[in-house]
Amino acid sequence: MLFFISLYLVCVGTTFYLNSKVVFVEWEIYFLFSSNIIMTLLFDWMSLTFMGFVSFISGMILIYSTYYMEGDNYFVRFILLVYLFVLSMLFLIMSPNMISILLGWDGLGLVSYCLVIYYQNEKSANAGMLTILSNRVGDVAILLSIAWLAMYGSWNFYYLQFMYTDELFFILLMVILAGMTKSAQIPFSAWLPAAMAAPTPVSALVHSSTLVTAGVYLLIRFHFCLNVSMFLFYIGAFTMFMSGLGAIFEMDLKKIIALSTLSQLGVMMFVLSLGFLELSFFHLLSHALFKSLLFLCAGVFIHSMGDIQDIRYLGGLSQGFPISSFYFIGCSMSLGGFPFLSGFYSKDMILETYMSSEMSLFMFMVVVLGTFFTCMYSLRLIFYVFFKNLGLKIYNSMSEVSGMTSPMSGLFLVSVVAGSAISWFFIPSFSIFLPVFFKFLILLGILGLSLFVYFYMSRSAFLNIKHLVNNIYFMGLMWFMPMLSTLNFMPLLNLGKFLLKTLDQGWVEFFGGQGVYSTLRFSGSYLDYGLLSNVKAYLFMFFMTLIFLFYYI
C-alpha cells in the first residue's frame, strides 16, 4: 500500500514541479456560530516528493520488520507504533500551519520515545529519557513561536514571506532552536546515538527519513526568513566535523551509522544556511535512501550473529551474507560520494557550490576534513566487518531470508537511481569548473592526515601514551557531549523529585486536597449522629418537643 502511494506521490510531485503548481487546501472541520476550525494542507513539489520518499522507505521497512521482529511478543504493538510514527511525519510534511505542525512534531517525539524504550531495560529507559527531554526543548520553541504568531492573526507560516517587520527575528530564532534539537545539532547531539537502543528497523526509519530530517525540513520551509545564516553555518559545519571524528573511534556498529547520519545532517544544515535550499533538500532525499538501507544491512548482521553489535567481534561477513554485504558496501560508497551513485550527485554539487563562493580558510578546512572523515569511517567499517577473519563464529547459522532481502533490493535499486533522477527532474542544470587541486583535495587530505596520524602516534608512543589515550577518549565520546547532556541536568531532575515529594505529594496535599477532604469527612461524621433514622431517638425528640411546647404554653 505504501509503495503504490509513494509512486503516485512522486509522480504528482514531479508534475507539480514541471508545471510550477501549488495546491493550498482549507478544510473546515467544525463551525459553530461565528467560530470555525479550519485544517490547512499545503501540496507542492517538495511536500509531495518528500511524502513519496517517506512512504516508500516506510513500506520497505515494514516488510523487513515482519521477518526481523518475528516471534516478538508485542509485534502488533510495534507495527502500530511504526504506522503512527509515519502518520505523524506525513502530517508534519504537509502542514503549513504552526499548530498542525506542533501536532505532528509532538507525535514524532512521543512515538519515538515509545519506540526507543521498546525493549524495556535500563539502557533503553535512559536513552528514551535523553531523547524525549532533548526534543522537549524544540517543542517549547514551537509553542513560543505559536504564541508570537498569534499577534499577526494567522498561524500559517506561508504568509510570513509577505511581511516586512523586524519582529520575525524571534520566530526565526525559535524555529532554528526547534530544528537544531530535532536534527541533533551541537549542543543537542547526544540523543541521536543514544536512540540506537531502539530495534534496528526503527533506527532505519527514525534516522534516515523521518525524525532527524524533520528539523531540516522545517528550516527549509522557513528559508524566506532564514536567508544566509552564519550561525547555522558554523553549527552545521562543526556538527559534521565532530560526528565524523567520533565515528572514527566508535566500535558499536549501529552508533557508527548513527554518527554518520549526524554528519550528513550537518552537511544539510550548513548548505541550507548558505541559501541553497534545493541542494539541502536534494541531499536529504538521497541520504534517506542509502542510510535506511545501511541500517537494514546492519540489522541482518546483528540478527544473525547473536545480537553482536561490536565491530571488533565481527569480520568476514561477506561469506555468509553476500547480498547484504554487496548492498552495505554499495551504500557506504554512496555515502562517501563515489561517482555516479546517489550520494555523489548531491554531495559533489554541495562541495563545488561551497568552494566556488567566498569562504574563510579555517571553515574551508573544517568542511574538507568533515568530508574526509566520512570516507575514513566508511572504509574503516568495511574493513572491520568484511576483511577480517571471522574466527570460530564461522560456525554460526548465517542465512539471508528472502523476506528481508527483497525490500533491501528495492531500496538499493532506488538509492542507486534516485540521485541522477532527482538531479535531472528537480535541479536546474549548471556546470561548475574548479581547479584540479580542489577536485583532488579529499585524496590529498587522506594522504596528509594519514602521515600526520602516523607521526603523531609514533611520537606519542615514546613521549606520552596517556596524552594520546585522553585525546582518543575525548574524540570518541563526541567531545564529552553525552556526559554534559546528562550529568549537568541531574541536579535539576533531583530538584524536581524533591519538590514532587515534599510539595505535590507532601505539604500541598496535607493542606490542600486530601487534607481538606479528611477534615470535612471527620467533622461531617459528627453531624450524622443527629441524622440517624433511629425510631427510639425520633420518638424521644418528639416527646421532648411536646413537653417543651406544653411548658411554654
Q: What is the pLDDT of residues 323-379, one digit of tens each?
A: 888 999 888 888 888 888 888 888 888 888 888 777 788 888 888 888 888 888 888
Rounded to a whole number of angstroms, the distance between the first and last alpha carbons of the chain is 94
Angle at 278 between CA 102 and CA 412, to 5 degrees: 90
Q: Is the pLDDT of residue 427 over 60?
A: yes
Dihedral sign (CA 18, 19, 22, 23): negative
Cα dihedral: 62, 66, 67, 69 (round 10):
100
Q: Render pLDDT for 123-176 as a digit per residue (tens, 0 to 9).
A: 888 888 888 888 888 889 988 888 888 777 777 777 776 666 666 788 888 888
Q: Is the pLDDT of residue 458 over 60?
A: no
* 82 within 8 A of 65, measured Cβ to Cβ: yes
CA 423 to chain centre: 26
CA 221 to chain centre: 17
Whole-model pTM: value is 0.82
| Bridge partners, 476 (sequence order) | none
Give the Cα separation of 263 and 246 in Å (integer). 10
Dihedral sign (CA 493, 498, 500, 501): positive
Nearest Cα to Cα of residue 64 among 279, 315, 387, 296: 296
Give the Cα separation of 171 and 146 in Å (integer). 9
User: Of residues 245 and 467, which shows the higher confidence score?
Assistant: 245
